[in-house]
Structure 1
Amino acid sequence: MSFHLHKFPLMSKSRKLHQLITEQETKQTSTAGIGEAEGEERVPGGDEIEEVHSQISLPNFPGGSETFEMAAKFCYGVKVDLNSSTVAPLRCAGEFLEMTEEYSEDNLISKTERFLSQYVLKSLKGSIKALKSCEKVMPLAETLGIVQRCIDSFASRASSADPASFGWPVSDEANDNRATSNQALWNGIESAVGRKGAVSASIAATSVGRGTNADSWLEPLSLLSLPLFQQLILAMRARDPSPDIIESCLIYYAKKYIPGISRLNRKPFSSSSIASESEHREILETIISNLPRERSSKSSTTTRFLFGLLRTANILNASESCRSALEKKIGSQLEHATLDELLIPSYSKLDENLYDVDCLERILIYCLDGLEERNASGIEAEEDGDHNVISSCLILVGKLIDGYLAEIASDANLKPDRFYNLAIVLPEQARLFHDGLYRAVDIYIKAHPWISQAEKEKICRVMDCQKLTLEACTHAAQNERLPLRAVVQVLFFEQLQLRHAIAGKLIAANATPQNSARPSVLRREQEGVEEGTIPAVAAGAGEAEESRSPWRTAVRANQVLRLDMDSMRTRVHQLEKECSTMKKVIQKIDKEGPRGWGSSLTRRFGCKIKTQVCDSHGQTVVNGRKGRDHDHQQ
């Protein structure tokens, strides 16, 4: 672009232009008849009457023609609009044109330096805008130290700021609200300074304005190029600010440039080429490598974002170290995750599973290691509720994993070993009850009817029947899908629960003032009930024996229950042998042919099975019949 300008205003402010114009005029006077030539910037000089023109070319001018135009206006004495976006290019232009204070008083360099120091670098937003404007005047801006000054100014002010006062971290809901009521938000910000004398203010505008106060400088921050953004984050980390501040910057920048990072606010992206995928991968790895290791105060929002990063890292094939660091970060706050976030699809061609079970298992191990470190280091040991907090986190993780197991159990490609290994990772204290685990086991066995009996028994071993509630025990006892051994265990512990419940009711019913005066006797009697034996009583206490007759009744009932369980266990083993014998006979009959199979089967099993089915309760049945016959005769 060419500019037709007078030489005297330019020469009065710029030493470089003065030298170039002087050299050009010297050549023109020594060589006559030189015609005009076209150039990028033309500065006419000489006497207009003689129509002698000088042409000056300024290649590689910092900031281009737009910045040169503002510098030329300054030379003409026209007021230049100095702001955060123009001060850095004008400072570089003044350096390029040598517009120093020694050459001319109150020159461009001194004006821009003063404005930069007194106004721009005093605010977060101004520092970011000035840093963004340095991109088009590189590397001169970096040589002059403008880039580093902007970075240091922003880092120092952001590190000393309170994250809550700026609305950190910026959530998806705040972005959605900003999109729907943008004008109201900006009005709220503009009127924040003069709001002291206002009679009333909108509560909604005030609450939304907090989030937008951060957005007013986070938006220009997200426009920085990746190298400048990385330098800025490194400078902030060197000053050890609040982790929420760094996370907010990283979250905002990632949502700006990485497609599909947020499930709640997905914008359509055009199909990415190979180059754009590599750029996305570079941005992703930069974001992950700069994430703070500390736990975030807004863990639910950050955890949702981290799972989005993990899905994107799997899609873009990020480095193994990058994904490992991200999994450790997620594991440090896994208790704040939701079941939907745990369902990470498997993108590997070698893995036929619907979900990435191995990834979640690694995250779970990182979570348990982190809880163990917190418990061992005693970071919160001074507080009485430290162990309670860790235990509550562990229980939340246990419920989350049980729900995850129930979701992935219906996957037909999920191997029994993978299901078993994930189920046993959690420690014993992570599950108060095993109802959720039983539900997952039941779903898995129902969805995988082809697995062997040994594999079913192995899957059922992840459950502790003592931790099943009465409702779960009732369902499991009638569940035909469970192995017979598991059903027997459930029935056994169900009887134990009933026995303890009966004993507890008897203790509550017979707690009299006389008994309360003798706690040692009650304790011995209670221990006797738990052990299934009659408690020893001192001689000469006949009246006490009569008053404690309900205790003897309860003990006898417990002994009967124990005998019933023993007979049931024996009967189960007999049934297993009978079933095995029947299978062998049927296979033999199939080989011999259909002739004579009915009589043979009846001769071998007909009466025997019918008689043995009633063996365990034969006495009860006979007694019942006799009683009914006796009543009928009466």
Structure 2
Amino acid sequence: MDAYCDLEVDVNGEEVLMVDKKVLSSYSGSIRKMFSTLKGGKRNVKVIYHDFPGGAENFELITRFCYKNGKIDINPFNITDLNCAAYFLEMNKCVSGSQNLLEQTAKSLEDIRYWTWSELMVALKRCQDFLAVASSSGILEKCLDSIVGRVASSCETSPSPSVSSPDSSKFRASCDTRSSESLKSSFLRVTWWFEDLVKLDIRLIEMLVKSMVSRNLSHRIISKFLFHYQKSRLASAFLDEKSRMVETVVEMLFSLDLSSASYKSLFGMLRFSLQGNISKCSRNKLESMIGSHLDQATFDDFLVPSPIRACYLYDVNLVLRLVKSFLAKGVWCLPLSRLKKVVSLVDAYIAEVAPDPHLKPSKFLALIRALPDSARDSFDGIYQSVDLYLEVHSGLSEEEKTRVCCGLAYEKLSPGALSHLAQNTKFPSKSALEALNFQQCRLKNLLQPTNQPNNFTNSPIFHETERTEKKDKTHEQILLYAGNLDFSIENESTGAHLQGMQWRVLELEEICRKMQIQMTKMMKSRLSNHSNAKSVPRLCS
């Protein structure tokens, strides 16, 4: 064997090279330390590297650098490999006194601002092959800073419609075709870097996003890129890779403004997460982001199938969690329009799941109570859903039925709904009594006189007339209500209460008849006096 090739190097199992250990030791601190610890005068030594940056090809470049007395051509296409290998071999000191490789690569990096975008991307892609070393050597940070700097500059000079002011929608509506094309072109100029960065590893993407956020890049553009990245990479990834990728993207999105993320894209991620195996923490964060946008949902978004092991039809627990996230800051902090939209969606969902024979009463009641009573103007729709639920679940006990009916706000039921409930045999007797009590309270309120403005409205005749009109109207409601009452209810207390209501109807009918006669006489007298007063000439009065 040649005396000058006394060091055998196995590089990552790719190739075995024979080199002069004295030459390499003069440039590599790690090899110097290795031989300084060896005892005896062994001429031939074998070194095995398992994770040498750049592999056998890059090790050959390092040996050339050593054999040429520290001279090598450094360019954007090999600088990453050389820098990381120099850091790996501790080539920061040179025995011969010439400039070491780490210094040379650091000096070449000073010109990184003059590199083309393609050269930057080549250097950055090489970093992801040996990320730990590239991060420690500092070259990764320089490449990331340069990439993000150019992206940020392009976004500042080419504003996108997605990051414009709230009035941009009005502006776009008034633009002609040429202006629309201009906005589209502007948006493409802002997102031109999407496709290039999609090829990077998720770990690099995470670093890039953190750097973008620190540079105050638009969160809306960042979120658009993350959704684009996920969509592009999921198709070719394995199941475990998909789960890890979704978790990482969720973490990055959660660090952005909640308003920056697209609801549709978030819900698409949620559907995947329900099928995939992502962590509970990531799923909670994803549901929290979706919940904050819940007023943008459609009814179909709510119809998520239940988990495989569940027997009920739709995933009710998911909807409950989303509504809870929507209300996290409190009902009074939400604009009325947003709240009404969610109320409408939830009520439609309750009507959809009511016929499910496997839906437990506790879950059905939880859906009704997910939104506070103050959020609904009327409970007629909820009453219809409860009626349908009790019809399908006819085998429920009286106690279970009563518990379900606790979700009804009787004071927000219309007179027609209260009348229907009172004679609805599917409902427990306690609910029928509640309906009667609220109906009775309304009747009392209608019969009570109210304060009126001055002038003619203060006169006794006005008050009597108004009371008569109210009694007539109340009389009609009571007769209609009493005619629909069903006395076949088995509960004795309910029957007695209904019988009492019937007697009150008859009494009110008699009172209304007498008041009508009295009011007729009073009105005739009033009109007669008024007519006589007008007939007297003013001068003779």
1:230-280 Cα deviation digits (max 9, x unpaired): 222333445565432442333222222335xxxxxxxxx7xx8xxx32222
Mapped partners of 1:306, 1:543: distance in 2: 62
Mapped partners of 1:434, 1:483: distance in 2: 18
Mapped partners of 2:458, 2:202: distance in 1: 90
Picking from 392, 412, 425, the partner of 2:357 is 412
- For the pair 1:312 / 2:227, whether they are aligned, the reply is no
1:201-251 Cα deviation digits (max 9, x unpaired): 955543433443344212222211122222223334455654324423332
- For the pair 1:244 / 2:238, whether they are aligned, the reply is no
Mapped partners of 1:534, 1:354: distance in 2: 52
- For the pair 1:287 / 2:249, whether they are aligned, the reply is yes
- For the pair 1:217 / 2:176, whether they are aligned, the reply is no
Picking from 483, 486, 490, the partner of 1:576 is 490
Mapped partners of 2:429, 2:157: distance in 1: 59
* Preserved CA contact (<8 Å) 1:68 1:93: no
1:309-348 aligned at under 5 Å gives the runs 309-348=269-308
1:101-131 Cα deviation digits (max 9, x unpaired): x78xxxx9699646522234xx7x8755542
Provide TM-score, normalisation by structure 1: 0.54
Report the CA distance shift for 1:554/1:128 in structure 2 as closer, same or farther (over 3 A): farther
- For the pair 1:131 / 2:76, whether they are aligned, the reply is no
Mapped partners of 1:129, 1:486: distance in 2: 73
- Report the AA paired with residue 152 of structure 1: D
- For the aligned residue pairs, the C-alpha RMSD in angstroms reads 5.4
Report the CA distance shift for 1:574/1:134 in structure 2 as closer, same or farther (over 3 A): closer
Secondary structure of residue in 2 paired with 1:344: coil
* Preserved CA contact (<8 Å) 1:395 1:429: no
- For the pair 1:352 / 2:311, whether they are aligned, the reply is yes
Structure 2 unaligned blocks of 5 or more: 6-14, 19-48, 164-175, 496-501, 510-541
* Preserved CA contact (<8 Å) 1:95 1:109: no
- How many residue pairs end up in the alignment? 434
Secondary structure of residue in 2 paired with 1:395: helix
- Report the AA paired with residue 290 of structure 1: M
Q: What's the counterpart of residue 553 of structure 1? A: 468
Picking from 110, 113, 116, the partner of 2:112 is 116
Report the CA distance shift for 1:554/1:347 in structure 2 as closer, same or farther (over 3 A): same
* Preserved CA contact (<8 Å) 1:310 1:323: yes
1:357-436 aligned at under 5 Å gives the runs 357-371=316-330, 389-436=334-381
Mapped partners of 1:152, 1:542: distance in 2: 79
1:15-414 aligned at under 5 Å gives the runs 62=54, 88=80, 113=109, 116-120=112-116, 127-128=120-121, 130-136=123-129, 141-142=134-135, 144-155=137-148, 161=155, 165-166=159-160, 202-203=178-179, 205-238=181-214, 241-258=217-234, 276-293=238-255, 295-298=257-260, 301=262, 303-349=263-309, 351-371=310-330, 389-414=334-359
* Preserved CA contact (<8 Å) 2:254 2:285: no
* Preserved CA contact (<8 Å) 1:495 1:561: no
Q: Percent sequence identity over matched residues?
A: 26
Report the CA distance shift for 1:285/1:471 in structure 2 as closer, same or farther (over 3 A): same
Mapped partners of 2:492, 2:250: distance in 1: 63
Mapped partners of 1:305, 1:565: distance in 2: 53
1:254-309 Cα deviation digits (max 9, x unpaired): 222335xxxxxxxxx7xx8xxx322222222222222235543355x2x2222222
Mapped partners of 2:157, 2:424: distance in 1: 55
- For the pair 1:461 / 2:406, whether they are aligned, the reply is yes
- For the pair 1:447 / 2:392, whether they are aligned, the reply is yes
Report the CA distance shift for 1:468/1:158 in structure 2 as closer, same or farther (over 3 A): farther
1:437-516 aligned at under 5 Å gives the runs 437-468=382-413, 481-482=426-427, 486=431
What displacement does 1:468 show? 3.8
Instruction: Name the stretch that deviates more: 339-348 or 139-148.
Output: 139-148
Q: What's the counterpart of residue 30 of structure 2? A: none
1:586-606 Cα deviation digits (max 9, x unpaired): xxxxxxxxxxxxxxxxxxxxx
Report the CA distance shift for 1:614/1:297 in structure 2 as closer, same or farther (over 3 A): closer
Secondary structure of residue in 2 paired with 1:250: helix
- Report the AA paired with residue 550 of structure 1: T
Structure 1 unaligned blocks of 5 or more: 1-23, 29-38, 43-58, 170-199, 260-268, 376-386, 500-528, 582-612, 621-634
Mapped partners of 1:213, 1:324: distance in 2: 35
Report the CA distance shift for 1:40/1:115 in structure 2 as closer, same or farther (over 3 A): farther
* Preserved CA contact (<8 Å) 2:223 2:260: no
1:544-584 Cα deviation digits (max 9, x unpaired): 44455532422433664687599779x75674358999xxx
Report the CA distance shift for 1:110/1:344 in structure 2 as closer, same or farther (over 3 A): same
Provide TM-score, normalisation by structure 2: 0.61
* Preserved CA contact (<8 Å) 1:250 1:287: yes
